[in-house]
Amino acid sequence: MSVQLWTYIIVGLTFALYIFIAIKSKAGSTKEFYVAGGGVSPLANGMATAADWMSAASFISMAGIIAFSGYDGSVYLMGWTGGYVLLALLLAPYLRKFGKFTVPDFIGDRYYSQSARLVAVVCALIVSFTYVAGQMRGVGIVFSRFLEVDINTGVYIGMAIVLFYAVLGGMKGITYTQVAQYCVLIFAFMVPAFFISFQMTGNPIPQFGMGSTINDGSGQYLLEKLNNLSTDLGFSAYTSGEKTVPDVLAITLALMVGTAGLPHVIVRFFTVKRMRDARKSVGLALLFIALLYATAPAIAVFAKTNLIETVSNKPYSEMPGWFKNWENTGLIKFNDKNNDGLIQYQASKNINELEIDNDIMVLANPEIADLPAWVIALVAAGGLAAALSTAAGLLLVISTSVSNDLVKKIINPSISEKSELWTARISASFAVLIAGYFGINPPDFVAAVVALAFGLAAASLFPAIVLGIFFKRINKQGAISGMLAGISLMLFYMMKYKLGWLGEMPEKSEWWFGISPEGFGTIAMCVNFIVSIIVSYFTSKPPKEIYEMVETIRVPESIK
Amino acid sequence: MNSKKTKIAKLYWKKNLQYLFILLSVWAITSFGASILWKEWLDQFYFYGFPVGFWFAQQGSIYIFVILIFIYVRLMNKLDDTIDEEFNKSINTK
């Protein structure tokens, strides 16, 4: 059977499964729509969180990014896993105990202020929209590559499916489809990794294979060989980096804190029963995420070594079939500058003749390693599962922010349960349309800012939540001014140093403290903390009920 | 009864903060310490084919994060249980 046929079969089957689950778990109340009724088991929630968290970027692009940046890629590995430690220890159990539906719910109640709630809603919407714009495009790209349809058609198909199960089932529908999507995506990611690890090193476990010797009898370690190959071509050694230490620290911390502050991740822990379930399900979520994140750097090493050995200084005419296939999609570009018919893949821009897209490392890996057609089809289904699950989670947070935080809590508190549910469904539909619009007409800045969603979350929501739980003395003036200071500073830095909207695009040497826009969330977060604390101490104490409320969320259900 | 409750709640929170302090220190040492600040120095040692600092950055830190959360889950579940017991005792002796 051909790859194309396999792809249709496997993708078709998985989609049928998602739709079946969605129909089975239609939401009947706002509680079911927002938090799946609040009775999801820690295991199911762990899987759902993992699928929610791992987007098309984690599945398709991350291994490639690491392959091309070596040690520098570690910031993503640590940043996007380390945040879960913060979630489990500092946020999830207390927010669960608080027991409402959203992050702005918590901030609005804890800081006894509608303005605080509004600021939190705006921050949550900015963060979620920055993030979802990239996801819809991702859905389109995956569809177009594997099903050979136009990218826009891909976006429409993706929108239709997400619309169907997010609007119908709300959080309940999303949770159980995400469980299925996690199983699909992790299977799809691991199978090729086992094969390739075994081929290259004789050890099927990729995490061990990465540190083993190569299978060619030379007794050389794989990483040593890759370091040599890289330095020979003028790149820096694979296991060392090019970024400065302060920048690596700042980016890692910004990604960690941002992860813990992303509304669509936090909201997942409102769906379990008790505090202890929230802690456990963060642990399980990270375990499931770690499976993929610990495998990605191994895939990066295998794929990079394979790639250099296949192309470097080899005649273009003798390239294998996959090279030509991916050349057609534009993901590989070859330009024979010196007309010698050989491929020069070098660090120096003047000599280099080959341009390779990051995504190829995961997408083309099964072909490069000559794996069977069904494995290639499986990777397609996995990529789609990753993209759809993340998009759905984000859309749900956006619709909840509108119907619960804006309409129910601020604009029209007397709204009936039934109308609120309808508002939620309608706003979910609108969110899908807006996200789809961005997917079809991506503004050039989308790709550039997705990574900054973390900086924005770190700079705005994370400090307000943590201070709200751990410092009773923080009052509304403090929290509001802190959030505003943090998010405006981050937006300013992003516009000036990443997008170049304010005057000319400055040089890297002008970065504050040598910190890149990706890492600036760390600085903006510190500013938020400092402003919140100072302003709080210069203004009046929060009311007595707030002290009591904070004491209540700190202890388990059995005490209070 | 109420003061008893408050007292238990206070003890619980204090214990929780201790756990947080220890676990978050380990979190910071593995990620910011071993994987970034001391990476260069650790790289002179090898663990199979891995330079040690590099291993921490791309493998070890992830495993340690998972382990840290599960340690916290265990510690807190135990603490929750002892508090439940204390509580029942105080009701029975009343």
Q: How many residues does chain B have?
A: 94
As a CATH number, domain A3-308+358-554 is 1.20.1730.10
Helix (H, G, I), strand (E, B) or coil at A350: coil
Residue A213: list chain B partners with CB under 8 A.
49
Q: Is the pLDDT of residue A166 over 80?
A: no
Bridge partners of B47? B50
State residue A560's pLDDT score: 60
Q: Which of B1, B38, B6, B13 is nearest to A555 (CA)?
A: B13
A556 touches chain B (CB under 8 A): yes
Determine contact, residues A308/A332, Cβ cutoff 8 Å: no
Q: Which two tokens stand for residue A398?
A: 């956006």
Chain A residue with minimal CA distance to B9?
A: A555
Q: What is the DSSP letter of A338?
A: T
The rounded distance, in Å, linking the Cα atoms of A171 and B13 is 32
**Neighbour count for residue A344 (Cβ, 10 Å):** 18
Distances (CA, A) of A555 to A461, A467, A551, B84: 22, 16, 7, 11
Measured in degrees and rounded to the nearest 5, phi and psi for residue B50 equal -90, 130
Q: Chain B: nearest CA to A503, how far in angstroms?
A: 34
Contacts of B29 (CB under 8 A, 6+ apart): none
State residue A446's pLDDT score: 56
CB contact under 8 A, A77 and B20: no
Measured in degrees and rounded to the nearest 5, phi and psi for residue A272 equal -95, 175
Domain boundaries of chain A, sorted by first residue: 3-308+358-554
The rounded distance, in Å, linking the Cα atoms of A165 and A163 is 6
Q: Which two tokens stand for residue A260?
A: 């813990």
The Cβ-side half-sphere exposure at A480, using a 13 Å CA radius, reads 15
CA A428 to chain centre: 20
State residue A445's pLDDT score: 60
A371 touches chain B (CB under 8 A): no
What ipTM, to 2 d.p.? 0.93
Q: Chain A: nearest CA to B78, how far in angstroms?
A: 10
Average pLDDT over residues A461-490: 93
B69 touches chain A (CB under 8 A): yes
CA A38 to chain centre: 24
Tell the burial category of B5 from Cβ atoms under 10 Å away from its Cβ (0-12, 13-18, 19+): middle
B26 touches chain A (CB under 8 A): no
Q: Which of A416, A427, A392, A387 is nearest to A121 (CA)?
A: A427
Count interface pairs A-B at CB distance under 8 A: 134
CB contact under 8 A, B32 and A252: yes
Query: How confident is the model over A228-282, as pLDDT tens digits?
Result: 888 888 888 888 888 888 889 999 999 999 999 888 899 888 888 888 899 999 9
Tokens 């006894």 found at:
A112
Q: Is the pLDDT of residue A101 over 90?
A: no
Sign of the CA dihedral with A479 first, then A482, A486, and A491 last: positive
Higher pLDDT, A316 or B18: B18
CB contact under 8 A, A240 and B47: no
CB contact under 8 A, B49 and A77: no
CB contact under 8 A, A88 and B83: no
Percent of chain A surpassing pLDDT 70? 98
The rounded distance, in Å, linking the Cα atoms of A385 and A399 is 21
Helix (H, G, I), strand (E, B) or coil at A262: coil
The rounded distance, in Å, linking the Cα atoms of A557 and A81 is 28
At B60, is the pLDDT very low, low, confident or very high (cuts 50, 70, 90)?
very high
A212 touches chain B (CB under 8 A): yes
Nearest residue, CB atoms, A239 vs list B12, B43, B63? B43
Q: Chain A: nearest CA to B93, how far in angstroms?
A: 17
Measured in degrees and rounded to the nearest 5, phi and psi for residue A333 equal -125, 130
Query: How confident is the model over A353-411, as pLDDT tens digits?
Result: 888 877 777 878 888 778 888 888 888 889 888 888 888 888 888 888 888 888 888 88
Higher pLDDT, A529 or A123: A529
Measured in degrees and rounded to the nearest 5, phi and psi for residue A82 equal -60, -25
State residue A443's pLDDT score: 64
Question: Model-level pTM?
Answer: 0.91
Distance spanning both ends of chain A, measured CA to CA: 62
Query: How confident is the model over A180-200, as pLDDT tens digits?
Result: 999 999 999 999 999 889 988
The rounded distance, in Å, linking the Cα atoms of A87 and A100 is 17
- The DSSP element (H or E) to which A332 belongs, if any, is strand A332-334
Determine contact, residues A202/A192, Cβ cutoff 8 Å: no
Nearest residue, CB atoms, A280 vs list B59, B73, B87? B73
Measured in degrees and rounded to the nearest 5, phi and psi for residue A28 equal -105, -15
Helix, strand, coil percentages, rounded to 5, for chain A: 75, 0, 20
Residue B73: list chain A partners with CB under 8 A.
88, 276, 279-280, 283
Query: How confident is the model over B13-55, as pLDDT tens digits?
Result: 999 999 999 999 999 999 999 889 998 898 889 888 898 999 9
Sign of the CA dihedral with A27 first, then A29, A30, and A31 last: negative
CB contact under 8 A, B62 and A256: no
Helix (H, G, I), strand (E, B) or coil at A547: helix
Distances (CA, A) of A451 to A75, A85, A424, A511, A559: 12, 20, 28, 17, 41
Determine contact, residues A479/A279, Cβ cutoff 8 Å: no
Determine contact, residues A68/A135, Cβ cutoff 8 Å: no
Nearest residue, CB atoms, A556 vs list B37, B65, B80? B80
**Amino acid type, B81:** D
